[in-house]
Structure formats: structure tokens, C-alpha cells
Amino acid sequence: MGVTHALRTSEYRDREAQYRWVQKLMGMRQVHIWDYSRLNFVYTTLSKRKLQWFVDEGYADGWDDPRFPTVQGMTRRGLQTEALKEFILMQGASRNVNLMEWEKLWTLNKRIIDPVCPRHVAVSDRGKVPVNITNGPSHPEVVSVAKHKKYPPAGVKATTRTSRIWLDAEDAMSVREGEEVTLMDWGNCVIDRIIKDSAGQDIVSIQAHLNLDGSVKSTRLKLTWLPDIGNLVPLSLFDFDYLITKKKVEDDDNLADVVNATTKIETRAHGDANMRTLQKGTVIQLERKGHFIVDEVFVRSDSPMALFAIPDGRIKTWGVSADVKK
């Protein structure tokens, strides 16, 4: 009987007469109702009944699926509580019906995680290229480098330098013979020779030599790399797309007609040895690949860690998320 105000979303406005009738019938005082619009997102349904359909039909793994607009799903994908609170406060209690883009929320999230999360390195398995450094160390050398150069509390990590290293296929294709490039957290090296297969298409290996006196500022390419050692960490990197291909889902839409067939893409890779100790839920940045959250930790070498890509508010390069930006 002490209730004076009721807050509710505007879709219940049609039942206000019934609500008042019940109050009068029971001799209760009239409650002041404050309507506000429900928050809607593009390519998303917030209907619990429709979300359950995705689970029942096998398009989602459960209510904590990282593709779901649930708190459990979004935090599992890397959304920070602070970002969610800030986003909600920015919206306020408006009666205007808005169809929100996800980019604003994920941009806020990046602003929170980027200044503090530790940096690590990963190289994709597909097409990775070995680089033989002729004047590299005769034995592996271990040096300590900062996990985040602008945030000392992130700590340090051990980086191993060897005479044979790995590059991503895309990076190997971007270098030119005779060019001086920068190996991040090491120094400059000069590309002496690029060796391709018999068809002259794929790069088999690269020969180079260190030039540690070279200027990092003068190089065109700053490359991430991994040493050729046995304790690298196997990774499964997952990226996700919208579950729905239609921007605004109507009540009478058949979900089977608008469901997205491909919503998860997996990339196999290897990460630096420091990633062995990462705990579930840890947010990191893989240098030049983006931010990720640990979903499954390292257990053994034949079982890859699972890392989920955290959206950063920028344009995606595949799936519905890419198509809608064209």
C-alpha cells in the first residue's frame, strides 16, 4: 500500500485501464505511472520467447551465449559492467522509441579496457611464415618487456628472442626484399630474401638480418612475431556476428526466415608463452589483432585456449556486420 509510483515500459500502456480498474475495485490509491520506451538494438531481438527459440533450435548455446543480448552473454563477450552502467545512464528514461546501434556501447567499453589491459602476441597458424635471422642469437635470449607500455601496473612479461621467428602470412606478404622493418619489442631487421614455392605464389620462408641500430621511426612496417620455441600456447580465436539478418525484427516475423546462417568464425593461432597463466575472464589485447577475453584457459598443449574477440565499435570485415556498413 506504500507504492506511489510505478515504472514500466510503454508496451504495457494498453493495459492501463485494466490496471486502474483493479486498483479501484480493491480500494487502493491510484499509483502514478511513469512510462518509458524499451531499449531496442539493430539486428537483435530482446524477446525472451524468441531468444529461447535460438537456444532450442541450436543457433545459440544457452542464455550466456556471447551472441545474446543478455547481461550474461555480453559480459562473457567482454563487456565491462562500468561500460554498461555508463551506457544506460546516457540513455535516460525517454518515451521516444529508438533503434540503437551496438557500436556506441562497444566504443564505451573499449575506452575502459584499452588503457589498462595487458598486451600479448599471437600469430595465426594458417600460412604463417618462418623468418631465419642470420645474425640472430645463437641460443634463445629471454628479456623482460612491459605488458602495457603506458600502464606500468600491468606488469612485465618474458619475451624470448631466437634466430628463427614466425610472422603472420599477411605480414610476410607485405614485406619487400631489401626493406628494413621493425620487429616489435626487439628492433629493426632487413629483409634479405623472400623464398616462394615452385608456383611463385606462397611464401615459404624469409631470410633477414638484424640492424638494431636502425631507427624505429623510419620503418614502414612494425611487425608482431613469435619465437620458434616449443612452449607457445595454442589458441582458438572466435569472432561473432549478429544472429539476425534483418535490422528491425517485427512481432510477426518468422525467425527461421531472418536467422543468420554464419555467426561464429574460428581462427587457430599460437600465442606467446606468457598466456599460459591467464585466468578465465581476463581481458587482453593481442597486438594488432584487437581485444579479447579468455573464455577457456590453457590446460595442455593439445587443447587450445578459447578467446572471444571483443567488438570495438568499428566496422567489421565479414558477415552481416560488414554488409550493413556498405
Domain ranges of the chain: 1-36, 37-119+232-326, 129-167+169-223
Residue 302 CB contacts under 8 Å (≥ 6 apart), including other chains: 234
For the chain, the helix, strand and coil percentages under 3-state DSSP, each to the nearest 5: 25, 30, 45
- One-letter identity of residue 167: L
Q: For the packed helices 81-91 and 103-113, what is the interaxial angle rounded to 10 degrees? A: 140
Could you tell me the CA-to-CA distances from 138 to 102, 167, 204, 316 in Å, in that order?
Answer: 50, 20, 23, 42
Taking the C-alpha atoms of residue 7 and residue 11, their distance in angstroms, rounded to an integer, is 12
Pairwise CA distance, residues 192 & 135, whole Å: 12
d(CA 90, CA 167): 43
For residue 116, report the phi and psi dihedrals to the nearest 5 degrees.
-125, -20
Yes or no: is domain 129-167+169-223 CATH 2.40.240.10? yes
**What predicted TM-score, i.e. pTM, was given to this entire model?**
0.90
Record the cell numbers describing residue 87, joined without a space. 551506457
3-state class (DSSP) for residue 103: helix
Query: Tens-of-pLDDT digits for all 326 residues of the chain?
Result: 688 888 888 878 888 889 889 888 988 888 888 887 778 899 999 999 999 999 999 999 999 999 999 999 999 999 999 999 999 888 877 777 778 899 999 999 999 999 999 999 999 999 999 999 999 999 999 999 999 999 999 999 999 999 999 999 999 999 999 999 999 999 999 999 999 999 989 999 999 999 999 999 999 999 999 999 999 999 999 999 999 999 998 888 899 999 999 999 999 999 999 999 999 999 999 999 999 999 999 999 999 999 999 999 886 766 777 766 54
Identify the CATH number of the domain defined by range 37-119+232-326. Answer: 1.10.1160.10
Q: Which residues pair with 100 in a beta bridge?
A: 41
Contacts of 95 (CB under 8 A, 6+ apart): 10, 35, 36, 37
